[in-house]
Amino acid sequence: MLNPAAAARRALPAVDRLLKLRPVEELAVRYGRTLVTATVREVLDSHRRRLADDAAAQFDEAAFVAECASSVEKRMRPSLRAVCNLSGTVLHTNLGRAVMPESAARAVAEAMTRPVNLEFDLDGGSRGERDSHVEGWLKRLTGAEAAVVVNNNAAAVYLALNTLALRREVLVSRGELIEIGGAFRMPDIMARAGCKLKEVGTTNRTHLKDYAEAITAQTAAIMKVHTSNYAIQGFTSAVAESDLASLAHEHGLPFIVDLGSGMLVDLEDYGLPHEPTPREAFAHGADLVTFSGDKLLGGPQAGLLVGTKALVGRIRKNPMKRALRVDKMTLAALEAVLRLYSDPDRLAQELPGLRSLTRKHAEIEAQANRVLPHVVAALAGSAEAQVISCSSQIGSGSLPVDSLPSAGIAVSGGGKRRGSFAERIATAFRSLPVPVIGHIKDGAFVMDLRCLDDETGFIEQLRQLKI
Residues forming contacts to ligand PLP in the complex (CB under 6 A) are 152-154, 157, 180, 184, 225-226, 228, 258, 260-261, 292, 303, 397
**Minimum CB distance to ligand PLP smaller for 260 or for 438:** 260
Q: How far is the CB of 260 from ligand PLP (least distance, A)?
A: 2
**Minimum CB distance to ligand PLP smaller for 169 or for 294:** 294
Q: How far is the CB of 178 from ligand PLP (least distance, A)?
A: 6
Q: Output the CA torsion 155→158→159→161 (10° steps).
A: 160
**Minimum CB distance to ligand PLP smaller for 261 or for 412:** 261
Q: How far is the CB of 157 from ligand PLP (least distance, A)?
A: 6
Q: How far is the CB of 278 from ligand PLP (least distance, A)?
A: 13
Are the C-beta atoms of residues 340 and 103 closer than 8 Å to each other?
yes
**Minimum CB distance to ligand PLP smaller for 180 or for 338:** 180
What gap in Å lies between CA 315 and CA 313, rounded to an integer? 5
In the complex, residue closest to ligand PLP by CB: 260
Q: How far is the CB of 458 from ligand PLP (least distance, A)?
A: 29
Q: How far is the CB of 293 from ligand PLP (least distance, A)?
A: 7
| Number of Cβ within a 10 Å radius of residue 461 | 18
- Three-state secondary structure of the chain: CCCHHHHHHHCCCCHHHHHCCHHHHHHHHHHCHHHHHHHHHHHHHHHHHHHHHCCCCCCCHHHHHHHHHHHHHHHHCCCCCCCEECCCECCCHHHCCCCCCHHHHHHHHHHHHCCCCCCEECCCCEECCCCHHHHHHHHHHHCCCEEEEECCHHHHHHHHHHHHCCCCEEEEEHHHCCEECCCEEHHHHHHHCCCEEEEECCCCECCHHHHHHHCCCCEEEEEEECCCCCCCCCCCECCCHHHHHHHHHHCCCCEEEEEECCCCCCHHHHCCCCCCCHHHHHHCCCCEEEEECCCCCCCCCCEEEEECHHHHHHHHHCCHHHHHCCCHHHHHHHHHHHHHCCCHHHHHHHCHHHHHHCCCHHHHHHHHHHHHHHHHHHHCCCCEEEEEEEEEEEECCEEEEEEEEEEEEEEECCHHHHHHHHHHHHHHHHCCCCCEECEEECCEEEEEHHHCCCHHHHHHHHHHCCC
What gap in Å lies between CA 205 and CA 175, rounded to an integer? 7
Q: How far is the CB of 176 from ligand PLP (least distance, A)?
A: 8
Query: What is the phi/psi pair of residue 383, to 5°?
Result: -155, 165
Q: How far is the CB of 15 from ligand PLP (least distance, A)?
A: 49
**Minimum CB distance to ligand PLP smaller for 88 or for 303:** 303
**Minimum CB distance to ligand PLP smaller for 152 or for 412:** 152
Query: What is the phi/psi pair of residue 94, to 5°?
Result: -75, -15
Q: How far is the CB of 315 from ligand PLP (least distance, A)?
A: 16
**Minimum CB distance to ligand PLP smaller for 258 or for 287:** 258
**Minimum CB distance to ligand PLP smaller for 296 or for 385:** 296
Q: How far is the CB of 183 from ligand PLP (least distance, A)?
A: 9
**Minimum CB distance to ligand PLP smaller for 71 or for 229:** 229
**Minimum CB distance to ligand PLP smaller for 8 or for 297:** 297
Are the C-beta atoms of residues 383 and 413 closer than 8 Å to each other?
yes
What gap in Å lies between CA 370 and CA 344, rounded to an integer? 31
Q: How far is the CB of 153 from ligand PLP (least distance, A)?
A: 3
**Minimum CB distance to ligand PLP smaller for 133 or for 226:** 226
Query: What is the phi/psi pair of residue 459, to 5°?
Result: -65, -45
**Which of 51, 65, 45 lies closest to 8, judged by CA?**
51
Q: How far is the CB of 231 from ligand PLP (least distance, A)?
A: 13
**Minimum CB distance to ligand PLP smaller for 61 or for 179:** 179
